[in-house]
Amino acid sequence: MNFKFSHEWRKRRLTKTKQFIAKLACATVIGTAGIALTQINRPVITVNASTTSVAARALGVDVASYQSADLSSHARAGAQFAIVKVSEGTSYRNPKASSQISTALSNNMMPMAYHFATFSSNASAAAAEAQYAIKAAQAFGLPKGSYIACDYETGQGNNIYGGKTPTANAIIAFMDQIKAAGYQPLLYASSSVLQNQIDTNSVVAKYPNSLWVASYAISGRIDNPNFNYFPSMNGVSIWQFTDNWRGLNVDGNVTVLPLSINGNVTSNNGAISQAPSSNANNTSTTKKEDKTDSKPASSTPSESATSAFVMKKAYVYNKKGERQSGSYAAYTRITYYGSTTRLDNGKTAIKVGDDRYVMASNVLGNSRVIRHNAYIYNHAGRRANWRVLRKGTPVKTYGSRFHINGKSYYRIGKGLYVKVANF
């Protein structure tokens, strides 16, 4: 799971990435989670495309200089929009941006742009970088009124630890310049950075529905977004859900709201902050790993229902935080009601029935950032594949720690683990 790196870092990383992508098809994932790992032939998909607007749930890509200058293959795979890197700092422009924007337009994809920030928490530097990004976008033919995102993450000297308020103020300074030039500002970051390093509320207060959030359910190829894993945040317009969409080695994105080149987000007041409702029933399975006696939940018609997978064995509690009868095995599909809630003991949980709750981390997970390059392991503590999760990568972990052969791990997917020491 990784979000956009600076151009130099990603170029170095690409040669290694191409070598192991094929091997990721061997990873075991939940078959019903909307994740496809292998296809010999990619299907050609017909979509209702437009260069000026996209509907909610439209799929798209973001590209930089290490991707093709011609985005025709991405359009054939089903992409309806393309977010093109135009610049970085105040001295770099993407040499392929002009072609990437023009071929997006010629393939009826709505073009957008992003700028890799290096201003840390310096508001005056942020304004200068915004002006540089605007001039680059104009030179590359980005239509007026388009979206231009501030890509805020670690890399190229950008320090994301300058304080939540100063960082937000600098980002807003960037976004103000974008708006003043006649474009629509967005903020791109991982869910972890948005929640822990930026006063995101102040950003969203000034620019509603301006977030483009990166959050991956698992590492490896994902063809379609699984909204069971949607990061529950206010103000999200675009969700980046994979770094290997449909085997193209390109980031995959989905619009959470309809977007238009001619104005602000349409049709909705406020971004969707929870996964869409589902009427899927609870099911119970018996695993050798996690044997359970699951009790079906009572329906709660007044609250929205969402289908999700339990990723670590989950016991049932009441609102007081007291253990109740029953539990859910790992990899069981359940239905929960409403959003997260805090039990009387301070624990964050989700409701699965009348006065019945399970810990939210066992289902929705926690977003953590890799602090050291990390390997992925299986349930026996052996290397599951030869992929390396790079330092700075946001990874979703589930439940508390596992202990395998005397070492501590977090589960990041079905049968996939990363050592706790790497977070």
* CA triple 173-66-90, angle to 5 deg: 30
In whole angstroms, what separates CA 297 from the centre of its chain?
A: 29
| HSE-CB of 352 using CA atoms within 13 angstroms | 33
In whole angstroms, what separates CA 216 from the centre of its chain?
A: 5
- Which of 151, 153, 199, 223 does the annotation list as catalytic? 153
Can you read off the two tokens belonging to residue 124?
Answer: 């005056």
Q: Kindly report the length of the chain.
A: 423
How would you write 316-381 as a 3-class SS string?
EECCCCCEEEEEECCCCEEEEEEEEEECCCCCEEEEEECCEEEEHHHCCCEEEECCCCEEEECCCC
Contacts of 371 (CB under 8 A, 6+ apart): 391, 422, 423
Give yes or no: 176 in active site: no
* Alpha-carbon torsion (169, 170, 175, 177), positive or negative: positive
State the pairing for strand pair 81-88/53-54.
unpaired
* CA triple 392-196-200, angle to 5 deg: 115
Instruction: Give strand ranges (E) for 191-331.
Output: 211-214, 236-242, 251-255, 259-260, 305-309, 314-317, 323-328
Are the C-beta atoms of 330 and 311 separated by less than 8 Å?
Answer: yes
- Which of 62, 129, 199, 223 does the annotation list as catalytic? 62
Give yes or no: 355 in active site: no
Please list the active-site residues: 62, 153
